[in-house]
Amino acid sequence: MAGLDEAGRGCLFGDVYAAAVILPERHAIRGLNDSKQLEPAGRERLAVAIREAAIAWSVATATAEEIDRINIYQASRLAMKRALGALTVQPEFLLVDALKLDSLIPQLGLVHGDALSFSIAAASILAKTERDHAMEEWHERYPRYGLARHKGYGTPEHLRALAEHGPTPYHRMSYAPVRRLASAPDITQEALW
């Protein structure tokens, strides 16, 4: 059985990440929980344990451009499908956090699945830690936005930076705050990158 979850649906910047994890029936990973309920250091520790214990795992993305073109719901499904396709072991059943995938594999969508299933919680942790690492790397390229701190979410700091500098090519233009600030008349072309 594989658990699938995503991270970054509500962000204004960057890809949405998804992970698929097949855990052994009996595993010794203590503390598996919804990634949003864990401190960053705990998530990092658990991510290492998940990779070591898993029968198979994978992480995949859908880009900001894909999000803008097909919407975040469909992009989340696309990222999950890519993660599922990248597994080295074919699962017999899927547990998916709150979504239904286009797959011939039998599946069950669970609302709050990351709190109900160890394999979904493990996928949540891998997707979140991979996305956080990517935001730290993007911070090096676009330090004015504070991506390493807020991970691309619409915090006051991020919104202030968007108002001052305009969006980067990796901001989600279909999201209202980004779209509104991109069309503000006082933003220069240089600020749009």
pLDDT in tens, 92-143: 999 999 999 999 999 999 999 989 999 999 999 999 999 999 999 999 999 9
Q: What is the mean pLDDT of residues 67-89?
A: 98
Which CATH fold topology does 2-139 show?
Nucleotidyltransferase; domain 5 (3.30.420)
Spatial separation of the C-alpha atoms in residues 35 and 118, rounded to whole Å: 11
Q: Among 23, 4, 153, which Cα is nearest to 79's?
A: 4
For the chain, which residues make up each domain, given as ranges? 2-139, 142-192
Confidence band, pLDDT 50/70/90 cuts, at residue 182: confident
* Residue 186: predicted pLDDT: 54
pTM of the model: 0.92
Residue for token digits 């006082």? 186
Three-class secondary structure assignment of the chain: CEEEEEECCCCCECCEEEEEEECCCCCCCCCCCCHHHCCHHHHHHHHHHHHHHCCEEEEEEECHHHHHHHCHHHHHHHHHHHHHHHCCCCCCCEEEECCCCCCCCCEEEECCHHHHCHHHHHHHHHHHHHHHHHHHHHHHHCHHHCHHHHCCCCCHHHHHHHHHHCCCCCECCCCHHHHHHHCCCCCCCHHHC
User: Furthest-apart CA pair in the chain: how many Å?
Assistant: 58
Confidence band, pLDDT 50/70/90 cuts, at residue 184: low
pLDDT in tens, 19-69: 999 999 888 899 898 788 899 999 999 999 999 999 999 999 999 999 999
Spatial separation of the C-alpha atoms in residues 5 and 182, rounded to whole Å: 30
Pairing of strands 56-62, 16-22: antiparallel
Order of strands, edge to edge, in the sheet holding 94-97? 56-62, 16-22, 2-7, 94-97, 107-110
Residue 191 has pLDDT above 60, yes or no: no
* Pair 63, 169: CB distance under 8 Å: no
